[in-house]
Amino acid sequence: MSGHSKWANIKHRKGAQDAKRSKMFTRIIKEITVAVKEGGSEQETNPRLRTAMQNAKGANMPKDTIERTIKKASGADGTSYEEVTFEGYASNGVAVFVECTTDNNNRTVANIRATFSKYGGNLGTNGSLKFIFDRKGVFTIALENMGLEMEEFEMELIDAGLEEIEKEDNIILVYTDFADFSAMQKKLEELMEKVLPPSQLDDGTPINYGYALAEQYFASHRAIGHSGSEASFRARIAWFPEQDVSIVILSNFHIDNAALMHEIASIYLGETPSPEGNTIPPEVEQDPSLTTALEGSYLPEFGRLITLTSDQEQLIWSEQDGTVISEIIFQKINIINFFHFFNVYS
């Protein structure tokens, strides 16, 4: 009975989650449709569509669903949605202004009127309350993603139409006039890009690594992350900003975690892994003179003395007690040659 009960609970939770997701997708599809009808299918010239697309990605809506919605809305036979507004009073005389997107105005009027009545309010006439409301743009930013001091951040946003900025716990709230919504959105996107800028070498050659984080692509999706290894342990983390999804891989044996990240991203984000997106650097031929030059003892940051020895064909990494940890394979990333420790344990 316990197994049956467990499956019933899982089925119940999944059903509730699917219903919630379906409701969210329906709302986003309406947003995209109205945005395309009003301003066209190009995100660059249609800020409302750009916002709807961000909402879709944030809800993990499949890419083909988004593209199908835009294509359908661009055609003459697409569902015709219209925006309507309602004004009224809730219980205790609280003024309420309602915005709706609908393909059936009569049905929506009846539903809104019934909702007001159900909770002790009443629906008023259009224009009776609108004058006491202001349309504002509100942006919520995680404090950890800001990347700037509060004063500097505020100065950056003034020219984009900043009206007010508030700090609440671990988030920043940015307020702007609705007419400046698009300008503020673009400015915030620019600032978020600056949080994790690419670095460059002393000679000016750009690389994809900065602030201990690297920009990479997994299953054709842009990601910000880092990887590392120590002895027999490996780790990789990737944050996909467009989807606001993070994937962490931890292992205690030798594993190609970059390839595994591709596979997980392709499954979870609905993309097919592409060889072009693979960031695993190729091996390069070892220079015997460099192999010999690197021989010696080292004390890395993790504090254990290691020894590199050469047998003329490869370097061997051993610990202080003589335990062989791994062979060293040379790889090439951009124009930088470096050695990477590959664990030989399984």
Domain that holds residue 188: 136-195
pTM given for the model:
0.45
Q: Please check whether residue 321 lies inside any domain of the structure.
A: yes
Q: Please check whether residue 33 lies inside any domain of the structure.
A: yes
**Last residue of a domain, which of 236, 257, 277?**
277
CATH of the domain at 126: 3.30.70.980
* Tens-place pLDDT, residues 7-57: 666 666 777 777 787 888 888 888 888 888 877 888 777 878 888 887 887
Residue (of 172, 168, 140) closest to 154 by Cα position: 172
Asked if residue 117 and residue 155 are part of one domain, the reply reads no
Q: Please check whether residue 3 lies inside any domain of the structure.
A: no
**Last residue of a domain, which of 27, 54, 74?**
74
* Tens-place pLDDT, residues 49-95: 888 887 887 777 888 888 888 888 877 566 677 788 899 998 888 99
- Mean pLDDT computed over every residue of the chain: 75
Q: Please check whether residue 247 lies inside any domain of the structure.
A: yes
* Tens-place pLDDT, residues 131-181: 888 888 888 887 766 667 788 888 888 888 899 998 887 788 999 988 888
Looking at per-residue pLDDT, the higher value among 142 and 207 belongs to 142
The C-alpha torsion from 158 through 160 and 162 to 165, rounded to 10°, is -80
Taking each continuous run of H as one helix and of E as one strand, the counts in the chain are: 8, 18
CATH of the domain at 51: 1.10.10.200
Q: Please check whether residue 94 lies inside any domain of the structure.
A: yes
* Tens-place pLDDT, residues 328-339: 555 443 333 334
**Count of domains observed in the chain:** 5
Give the rounded distance of the alpha carbon of 237 from its chain centre.
13
